[in-house]
Amino acid sequence: MSGRRKVLLRLIAAAIGLTALVWTIARLGPRRVLELALEADATWLLMSLLPVIARYLIWGYKWQRMLNRERRVPLRHAVRLLMAGVFVNLTTPTAKLGGGVLRAAALHKRYGFELSSAFGWVLADQMTNVLGSLLLFGALALAGGTIAPGYTVAGALGLLLFGAMVGARGWAWRAAQKPRLGKVFVRFTPGRFRVVEGDRETVRWVRPLFHPLLRQTTWTDVVVSTVSFAALCASNAFVLRALGVDTPIWIVAVAVAVGYFAGNGLGPWGGIGVTEAAMAGVYLQLGVAGDAAAAGVLLHRAGYYLVGLGWGGVALLRVDRKAAEASLE
């Protein structure tokens, strides 16, 4: 599938998500949603920004710990690169790739990482985030299944998927080194990146790309990622508290997890439209009042974008311009 077609499909997904969100709000009564938002407790709303900030600080700390297994990167620089990547992901329809390219290019240019290894650490960082959020979702959905039985299955499947992904690390590492798979990679690798060994062409970027994820990540990376994702759940819980809604934390975590999974998988520009529609849908299904669900989702996402765009925009200005330009090409 061509790059343009992928972008088009994601734009369509975003349009569908926005349409679903607008339809949901229209059905619930936009005036009531707006009234709730305006009546929200300002103190709790301001407090809801703190967990979003904590989310990125914890994430940056985790990524810096991972990078230091190969080369020393100061924490403030790791956080700056992360936030610059967040800004790119929130403002360009790159399916979360643009920010990763920026981070890898900066690691290569400023800190001397081999380019394939730099991409490997970005991949490892993103995959540990997925594992962390999947672990939290699975555990809380399984626990909440006593109230909403349908989520017992969802939680169990989430934990099974988590276990399968962790358990497959050894197999994936062995597979990545097999000559047969190397031949497949050669087909998709430009000629200038191929090398000749004996009577055949091969590539040398496979091991450095997958080594950080498959051989150097640890359980602590996943645990810290879980805490980082939990901060987003806390932010949404604070927003609901600002609206006077007392919602069990497992419901908040499930709604946030489903929303962000959907947004990351389908929507460009930070999942706008798709994330909100999915979160609101889960809240409605689990018994949260419709107007409060819509207002809570919109206010939470507004805070998420406020922190990501504000902090990320400043960070991007401080990142090497050439690395930034490379990520946007």
Q: Please indicate, yes or no, if residue 195 is contained in any of the structural domains.
A: no
Helix (H/G/I), strand (E/B), else coil: 203: strand
The answer as to whether 14 is a domain residue is yes
- Band of the pLDDT at 61, cuts 50, 70, 90? very high
- Distance (Å, whole) CA 136 – CA 155: 9
Question: Quick one: pLDDT band at residue 90, thresholds 50, 70, 90?
Answer: confident
Pull the structure tokens for residue 97: 């790739």
Q: What is the DSSP letter of 202?
A: E
Which pLDDT tens digit goes with each residue over 135-175? Answer: 999 988 888 766 677 788 888 999 999 999 999 999 888 87
- What confidence tens digit (pLDDT) does each residue in 25-38 have? 565 556 666 677 77
- The residue type of 7 is V
Nearest residue to 19 via CA among 202, 305, 213, 277: 277
**300 lies in some domain:** yes
Phi-psi region of 267 (alpha: psi -120 to 50; beta: other; left: phi over 0): beta
Inform me whether the pLDDT recorded for 6 exceeds 70: no
Phi and psi (nearest 5°) for 194?
A: -95, 155
| Number of domains composing the chain | 1
Closest CA to 126 of 217, 188, 6, 13: 217
pLDDT digits (tens, 9 = 90+) for 242-265: 999 888 888 898 899 988 887 776
- Domain presence at residue 48: yes
Q: Give the model's pLDDT for residue 212.
A: 95
On whether the CB atoms of residues 155 and 142 are closer than 8 A, the answer is yes
DSSP 272: T
Residue 275 included in any domain: yes
pTM of the entire structure? 0.83
User: What is the mean pLDDT of the segment spanning 207-230?
Assistant: 93
Task: List C-alpha distances in Å: 194 to 103, 108, 183.
Answer: 24, 19, 11
β-partners of residue 194 are 203
- Residue 191: pLDDT band (50, 70, 90) is very low
Residue 320 included in any domain? yes
Range of the domain at 43: 3-144+218-328
Q: Compute the average pLDDT of residues 5-13.
A: 57
d(CA 249, CA 323): 40
Interval 269-298: pLDDT, tens: 555 667 888 888 888 888 888 788 888 888
Pair of tokens at residue 217: 């990540």
Assigned domain for 163 exists: no
Distance in angstroms (rounded) separating the CA atoms of residues 5 and 3: 5
Query: Which pair of tokens denotes residue 57?
Result: 């600080």
Q: Find, among 312, 324, 296, the residue nearest to 90 by Cα.
A: 312
* CA distance linking residue 242 with residue 303, whole number of Å: 13
State both tokens at 26.
Answer: 């229209």
CB atoms < 10 A from the CB of 300, how many? Answer: 29
Cβ-based neighbour number of residue 95 at 10 Å: 18
Residue 319: inside a domain? yes
pLDDT recorded at residue 328? 47
Q: Is 1 helix (H, G, I), strand (E, B) or coil?
A: coil
Amino acid 47: pLDDT: 96
Q: Distance (Å, rounded) from C-alpha 3 to C-alpha 98?
A: 13
Is 260 in contact with 275 (CB distance < 8 Å)?
Answer: yes
